[in-house]
Amino acid sequence: MTIQIKACTLSDLHVLQDVSIETFQDTFKHQNSPENMQAYLDRAFNLTQLEKELLQPSSEFHMIFADDDIAGYVKVNIDEAQSENMGQDSLEIERIYIREKYHNQGLGKHLVQQAIDIAKERGKAKIWLGVWEKNERAIAFYHKLGFVQTGAHSFWMGDEEQLDLIMTKTLE
């Protein structure tokens, strides 16, 4: 399998929307009501919102491809684009998703490494992310990569408040 990671541009907007909706639904639909899921999808992944995020200078989206098929993506934020004020020395992984058919093939690790590389290029000392407390698989994955829990914050899925664990990795 040939793996490539490419930065997203506005020309990728519709593909980004499709893969965002697909991966988010596949990851969380069984643990959330259809109404809350749809409310979140409508708010987070509408074309206007995604275009705004793509144009934000302190955010970047990168897609990972497996043999020319889109396998997932990562969104990173620095500075004022971070969803929590974690300081100028931090980079946030706001979203990282792999399509189900590409799970367990090491692609998530490639995307985390992409985020680490971006953080180092920009002189950041740490990377962090929020992960739903019920997403045990993801929590174990991040622990394996050297992330530790450093806090928690609220995440709204429709009208339901959920708890995201904040996990941080200090960069060497």
Give residue 148's identity as a one-letter amino acid code: V
In 3D, which of 79, 82, 106, 80 has the Cα closest to residue 95?
82
Q: What are phi and psi of 6, to 5 degrees?
A: -130, 140
Catalytic residue set: 142
- Tokens found for residue 129: 């992310």
Kindly report the CA angle at 168 between 163 and 169, in degrees rounded to 5? 155
